Structure 1
Amino acid sequence: MKILGWIFIVLGILLAIGYWNQRKEEPNKKKAYLAAFIASIVMALVGVMLIRVNSIPSSNSDSAPKTAKTTKTAKTSQSSSSRKPSGDSNDLGKKEKQEVDKKKAANERQNFASYKRALTQLPAKTKHVVTSAKVDPTSGETVVVLYDDALSLSTNELKNLAKTTWITISNMRDSYTPFPDNDSSSELYTTIEDSAGNKIAHTSLLGNFKFDSDN
């Protein structure tokens, strides 16, 4: 298209010059040569337009790949930047969860330590009706020992004393839980004994008070 445009321009100029000269030499054909002259000029103008039209797509075609490349680069940058916060967010979430778990475990250990200290104060608070209260290191159960005079009580009186003691321990334990998972038995079971280790009452499998003399 560009070459054709130049051909039109050259031919148009040459023809225009020729027709102009012929117009001077043959005045009787002045109008005909004038028309041919104008046609030549038009041909030259058409050639100029062809060159300009040809140059426009060339400019666009050169810029198109650059635009596509720029867009691709921008998308790549956005994709990379969007992935980075995701990784940072995951790391932050893991750290936060670790901190929460660590704090939870520390609180549970503190709860259990406070519960065991409260058990040691129970004899003084009950005026030594309870002579000992502790968490058994083997079974993890809370073991409460009643004073020996309790054995001289009637069955109903002993049952009522044992139940009152069991409820007291349950309420005390509830105020300190939760405990660590490895000390969960202390949250569930209480055994009430005499000083010789004979079982008086305990927590049943269903979590209720069970007087051992009831068969």
Structure 2
Amino acid sequence: MYSFLSFLGGVGVIAAIVLTVLYFKRRKKQPEKARKYALYAWICVAVFMIFGWLASITPEGKQEAHDEDVSSSIEESRDAKSSSVKKEKAHKASVAKAESSSADKAMKKQAKAQREKSGKLHYKQLQNYLSNLPTKYEGAIDDAYYSPQDSKTIIVMNEAVLDVSAAKLKAVVRGAWNLGQNAYNKYSPLPDNVNANYVTVQDSAGNELAHTSLLGNFDYDADK
């Protein structure tokens, strides 16, 4: 019954379309016939609506409407679930990103703390090394230390080793300067505010004999 009524409704629609086309073709040349076509078209539309309504109240029509409602509900449920899954994924991604950023900050903070701790230890070792140079080179070096005020390593030579020829004096002073540079290389990295790589060699009166140049090389003052 549902299929038959649907078929009749479909025929009514086709007939209404054909009659409408005929109406527009004949309305100027044969207005009387055109009016009949228009009337018939309206009758076909009414028939289509009646048969459509009758089809909808049949058990088959009600079942089809129910199936459409179920299908629509399933589609809406699927869309809602898909949206929920997307939101959950976005939330997890956001949480993971935040955790990664937090972990990265924690690692950087830990690395910085470790560098500072290591730098302080190296600085202490440097000071101990320099303080032992006068004992190790007794009679040649009177004092050796890092000066925070002057921001440099200072090595003080004994006057006895300075009473030599000019060529030998330069070699002796260079040897003392090398001790300071080697100490810096050995105990690096140091804290950022410790410039132990800048080394000066002095006599007991505080006169500078040599120092580290801007390029990091040995610069003998007597050559100037």
Which of the numbers 106, 109, 122 marks the counterpart of 2:117? 106
Deviations 1:104-155 (A, max 9, x none): 1111111111101100000111123101001122111111111111232121
Partner of 1:204: 213
Q: Verify the 8 A CA contact 1:108 1:180 in the aligned structure 2.
A: yes
Q: Which runs of 5+ in 2 are unaligned?
A: 1-50
Q: Secondary structure at the match of 1:195?
A: coil
Q: Distance in 2 between matches of 1:7 and 1:167?
A: 107
Q: Verify the 8 A CA contact 1:123 1:132 in the aligned structure 2.
A: yes
Partner of 1:89: 100
Q: Which runs of 5+ in 1 are unaligned?
A: 10-48
The code of the aligned residue for 1:97 comes to K
The code of the aligned residue for 1:81 comes to K
Q: Verify the 8 A CA contact 2:139 2:160 in the aligned structure 1.
A: no
| 1:82-161 pair list within 5 angstroms | 82-161=93-172
Deviations 1:143-177 (A, max 9, x none): 11111112321211211100111112212221111
The code of the aligned residue for 2:54 comes to L
TM-score (norm 1): 0.74
Q: Verify the 8 A CA contact 1:2 1:50 in the aligned structure 2.
A: no
Q: Distance in 2 between matches of 1:203 and 1:89?
A: 45
Partner of 2:54: 4
Aligned-pair identity in percent equals 25
Q: Verify the 8 A CA contact 1:2 1:54 in the aligned structure 2.
A: no
Partner of 2:177: 166
Partner of 1:192: 201
CA distance change for structure 1 residues 103 and 162 in 2, over 3 Å: closer, same or farther?
same
Q: Distance in 2 between matches of 1:158 and 1:166?
A: 12
CA deviation after TM superposition for structure 1 residue 62, in Å: 2.5
The code of the aligned residue for 2:160 comes to D
CA deviation after TM superposition for structure 1 residue 2, in Å: 8.4
The code of the aligned residue for 2:205 comes to A
Q: Verify the 8 A CA contact 1:114 1:176 in the aligned structure 2.
A: yes
CA deviation after TM superposition for structure 1 residue 54, in Å: 3.3
Q: Secondary structure at the match of 2:144?
A: strand
Q: Secondary structure at the match of 2:179?
A: helix
The CA RMSD measured in Å over matched residues stands at: 2.1
Deviations 1:65-103 (A, max 9, x none): 222222222222221122111111111110011001110
Q: Secondary structure at the match of 1:52?
A: helix
TM-score (norm 2): 0.71
CA distance change for structure 1 residues 193 and 78 in 2, over 3 Å: closer, same or farther?
same
Q: Distance in 2 between matches of 1:147 and 1:7?
A: 120
Q: Distance in 2 between matches of 1:50 and 1:205?
A: 96
Asked whether 1:75 is paired with 2:121, we answer: no
